[in-house]
């Protein structure tokens, strides 16, 4: 589904637009002109990733032009399909330095898959397949996707190794925020080992100072304009030493 000249949403489940598997995060294609990038391929149950590829084709895009697979953080609803995507597409895989070994080793404990299964979020027989990571991303790194320029920011709090990106060079300035901040200034704290409130506040303050108009999160509503207000709202709550509203 084409949202702008540079942004397509090609997958997502119950907390998205129902374009692919029920548990999939928003799956995005970035169109930089000479190449495409795929952001977070979803959970990858059954043939859900095939559905995503078909959605991309239905949008008139050639999947052979996807040259980068960018993983924002290691939660399974975002990267369960990464191994399949890396196997089926001619892509370099990017993840944060902290997330990369976890993804390569399919460390189910580190990604809190055990507790997420116990809580009923994922099927009991789901296992995370290991996926190669070719490029480890550090704060300040810039990835180019054709004409688009993605600048990486470490944004822990939702989990360790979480990345957000500003995207410039296209039709507007974007924040690709993954699970950092959502519409209405909500955040996603979970009772898992690497969810940290103080780090979360620091990450929200960091992105609140960045220049963007579109807020593109990993779930729920997407704001193509006026996106900054949602981050400002979350930052204001943290500045009062409180906690923004939580998604769950």
- Residues sharing a CB contact under 8 Å with residue 122, sequence separation 6 or more, in sequence order: 23, 43, 76, 113, 116
Q: Does 40 bind Zn ion (CB under 5 A)?
A: no
Nearer to Zn ion, 156 or 227 (CB): 156
Residue with the two structure tokens 């795929």: 38
Q: Does 219 bind Zn ion (CB under 5 A)?
A: no
Nearer to Zn ion, 8 or 74 (CB): 74
Nearer to Zn ion, 61 or 79 (CB): 79
Q: Which of 205, 213, 210 is nearest to 233 (CA)?
A: 205
Print the binding letters for residues 73-112 with Zn ion: x by CB under 5 A, - otherwise.
--x-------------------------------------
Supply 104's token pair.
């390569």
Number of residues in contact with Zn ion, rule: CB under 5 A?
A: 2
Nearer to Zn ion, 170 or 218 (CB): 218
Q: Does 228 bind Zn ion (CB under 5 A)?
A: no
* Cα–Cα distance, 248 to 242 (Å, whole number): 17
Q: How far is the CB of 99 from Zn ion (least distance, A)?
A: 11
Q: How far is the CB of 182 from Zn ion (least distance, A)?
A: 11
Supply 237's token pair.
């709550």
Select from 42-50, 71-79, 80-88, 134-142 the region that touches Zn ion (CB under 5 A).
71-79
Query: Phi and psi of 154, rounded to 5°?
Result: -70, 125
Q: Does 179 bind Zn ion (CB under 5 A)?
A: yes
Select from 10-18, 141-149, 165-173, 174-182 the region that touches Zn ion (CB under 5 A).
174-182
Select from 55-63, 69-77, 167-175, 192-200 the region that touches Zn ion (CB under 5 A).
69-77
* Cα–Cα distance, 179 to 53 (Å, whole number): 23
* Buried-exposed string 150-180: b where 16+ CB fall within 10 A, e elsewhere: bebbbbbbbbbbbbbbbbbebebbbbbbbbb
Q: How far is the CB of 34 from Zn ion (least distance, A)?
A: 31
Select from 16-24, 108-116, 133-141, 171-179 the region that touches Zn ion (CB under 5 A).
171-179
Q: Where do runs of H (alpha helix) occur along the chain? A: 48-58, 76-79, 82-88, 99-105, 113-118, 197-208, 228-239
Q: How far is the CB of 214 from Zn ion (least distance, A)?
A: 20
Q: Which of 128, 61, 108, 59 is nearest to 89 (CA)?
A: 61
Where on the chain is the footprint of Zn ion (CB under 5 A)?
75, 179
């Amino acid at each position: 589904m084409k949202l702008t000249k540079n942004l397509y949403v090609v997958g997502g489940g119950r907390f998205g637009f129902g374009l692919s598997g029920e548990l999939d995060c928003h799956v995005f294609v970035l169109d930089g002109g000479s190449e495409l990038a795929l952001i977070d391929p979803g959970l990858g149950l059954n043939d859900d990733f095939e559905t995503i590829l078909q959605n991309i084709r239905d949008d008139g895009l050639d999947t052979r032009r996807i040259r980068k697979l960018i993983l924002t953080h290691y939660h399974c609803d975002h990267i369960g399909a990464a191994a399949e995507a890396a196997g089926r597409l001619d892509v370099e895989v990017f993840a944060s330095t902290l997330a990369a070994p976890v993804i390569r080793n399919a460390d189910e404990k580190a990604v809190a898959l055990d507790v997420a299964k116990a809580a009923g979020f994922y099927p009991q027989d789901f296992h995370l397949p290991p996926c190669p990571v070719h490029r480890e991303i550090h704060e300040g790194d810039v990835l180019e996707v054709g004409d688009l320029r993605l600048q990486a920011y470490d944004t822990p709090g939702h989990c360790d190794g979480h990345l957000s990106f500003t995207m410039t060079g296209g039709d507007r300035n974007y924040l690709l925020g993954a699970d950092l901040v959502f519409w209405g200034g909500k955040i996603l704290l979970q009772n898992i080992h690497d969810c940290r409130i103080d780090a979360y506040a620091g990450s929200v303050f960091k992105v609140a100072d960045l220049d963007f108009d579109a807020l593109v999160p990993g779930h729920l509503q997407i704001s193509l304009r006026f996106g900054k207000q949602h981050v400002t709202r979350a930052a204001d709550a943290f500045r009062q030493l409180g906690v923004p509203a939580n998604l769950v």
